[in-house]
């Protein structure tokens, strides 16, 4: 029986593990270890990619809205240049989610990508629940509902109702 050399990276399969550089700490980190037990959007992108730049604000809005429930974003740049260039791009766009870099660009082979941006929404078990080729509006009602459902499945805390200004008010413990 024919056995492919590598497992297919498809919805329903476990996301491949890969080591990248965390741009906040400069450390090499395992994506699987870092995001174990969390609902995570792995977004593979580059600073020179126009659709990536267009997609990032929606990722930031989704992250800001769902971070209190434990939602994480691992944005992995495949820029071959200096890390400070990627950090400058993130500062310009006001990004606060986790930024990583793979200067080798080998992550593109590991995730069997066709180009950038490409995104993989993982459940808390590291399974690929959604794979998107190209830019998406991650804060759209459909995507937010999917992420919330995955967070519910993971036992994430519920958000309290928004106040009239649209910000969340947390009761002191």
Check if the beta carbon of residue 50 is closer than 8 Å to that of residue 73: no
Round to whole Å and give the CA distance between 6 and 26: 30
Structure tokens at 52: 């990536």
pLDDT at residue 172, rounded to an integer: 46
pTM of the model: 0.87
Which residues are CB-contacts of 32 (< 8 A; sequence separation ≥ 6)?
Answer: 15, 17, 126
Q: Which residues pair with 109 in a beta bridge?
A: none
For the residues 132-137, what does the mean pLDDT come to? 96
**57 conformational bin, left if phi > 0, alpha if psi -120 to 50, beta if neither:** alpha
pLDDT at residue 158, rounded to an integer: 87
């Amino acid at each position: 029986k024919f056995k492919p050399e590598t497992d297919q990276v498809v919805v329903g399969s476990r996301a491949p593990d890969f080591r990248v550089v965390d741009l906040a700490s400069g450390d090499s980190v395992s994506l699987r270890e870092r995001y174990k037990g969390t609902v995570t959007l792995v977004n593979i992108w580059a600073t020179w990619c126009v659709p990536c730049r267009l997609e990032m604000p929606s990722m930031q809005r989704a992250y800001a809205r769902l971070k209190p429930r434990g939602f994480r974003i691992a944005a992995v740049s495949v820029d071959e240049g200096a890390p400070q260039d990627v950090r400058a791009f993130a500062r310009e766009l006001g990004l606060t989610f986790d930024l990583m870099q793979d200067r080798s660009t080998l992550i593109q082979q590991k995730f069997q990508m066709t180009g950038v941006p490409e995104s993989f929404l993982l459940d808390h078990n590291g399974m690929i629940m959604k794979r998107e080729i190209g830019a998406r509006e991650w804060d759209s009602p459909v995507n937010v509902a999917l992420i919330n459902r995955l967070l519910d499945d993971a036992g994430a805390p519920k958000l309290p109702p928004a106040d009239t200004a649209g910000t969340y008010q947390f009761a002191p413990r």
